[in-house]
Amino acid sequence: MALTKESIEQISDQLLEAERTCQPIDPIAPRFSDLSYEDVYAIQLKTFDTRVKRGEVIVGKKIGLSSRAMQEQFNIKEPDYGIISDKLVLREGQPVAMKSLISPRMEPEMAFVLKEDLKGPGVTAAAVLKATEGIMPAFEVIDSRYKDWKITVKDSISDNASCGAVILGGMLTPVDGIDLRLVGMVLEKNGEIIATGAGAAVLGNPAESVAWLANKLTEYGITLKAGEFIMSGSLVRAVPVEAGSFLRASFDRFGSVSALFE
């Protein structure tokens, strides 16, 4: 580990302050040439330790950069992950305040609601499906506390995988008999279709994405818990939004989710 405990705490505090004030900070990767994955996950965990001490409740996890489109967009070759607290979950139909964000982008995703714990190693897509109560259509509002989205995957990890907020649609659908690879999605912005995608865009199968996360978290002694929801990753490239933007993602068999920014 390249960073000292004091540096980890300092960067975590800076990220929390950037979120509170909506004033981004300089990325950390250029500042620390020997920055390790252990370092940046330690920053993320320190931030969530602070959040929990403030009274926030962990309700889920997110997988980022899991599609080829997103990996190309950010020039990386592996996913990352973050933690979701109740404070980050917004109610569908409630306008999203642009003043509470820095430079938001939207990602349509399948959210897996778990009925059983998932703990690696050795978790497979089949085990994920068995442990899943159902799928909800969802949006992740990604936002970076680092300036101008000039980030590496290590910057993103330290910043809770660039999670800004999550919006869940109103429908929970069991996965029995559904091939998630073939589930189509249509994304509209202000009434115009701007992107389409399918489940196969997410590591070949969104269940594989959740399996990757369960196995990855074993390294940190973390289990995916029954009752949590797991954001499996975006089916398309992230879409910038502005005040007045209205987005709707419609999924085959899973319903739709919408968001309005003001």
152 pLDDT more than 90: no
Tokens of 114: 């778990």
Please tell me the predicted confidence (pLDDT) of residue 64: 86
Please tell me the predicted confidence (pLDDT) of residue 73: 64
The DSSP string of 92-125 is TTSPBPGGG-SS-EEEEEEEEEESS-B--SS--H
* pLDDT tens for each residue of 93-133: 999 999 999 999 999 999 999 999 999 999 999 999 999 99
Q: How far is CA 65 from CA 30, 172, 216, 237, in A?
A: 21, 24, 15, 9
Tokens of 96: 């999203």
Q: Cβ contacts of residue 41 below 8 Å, gap of 6+?
A: 157, 158, 220
* pLDDT tens for each residue of 201-251: 999 999 999 999 999 999 888 999 999 999 999 999 999 999 999 999 999
Tell me the average pLDDT across 12-29. Answer: 97
Work out the end-to-end distance of the chain between its first and last CA atoms, rounded to an integer number of angstroms. 42
172 pLDDT more than 90: yes
- Exposed, middle or buried: residue 149 (CB in 10 Å: 0-12, 13-18, 19+)? buried
Please tell me the predicted confidence (pLDDT) of residue 72: 73
**Contact (CB, 8 A) for 124 and 250:** no
pTM: 0.94
Q: Cβ contacts of residue 29 below 8 Å, gap of 6+?
A: 35, 151, 152, 154, 155
Q: How far is CA 30 from CA 70, 155, 215, in A?
A: 22, 9, 29
Residue entry with tokens 């899991």:
66
Average pLDDT, the chain: 94
Count Cα atoms within 13 angstroms, Cβ side, for 227. Answer: 5
The arrangement of secondary structure in 58-260, i.e. its CATH architecture, is Alpha-Beta Complex (3.90)
69 pLDDT more than 80: no
**In the chain, what percentage of residues exceed pLDDT 90?**
87
Q: E strands along the chain, which residues?
A: 58-64, 80-85, 89-90, 105-114, 132-142, 163-168, 184-189, 192-198, 229-234, 239-240, 246-251, 255-260
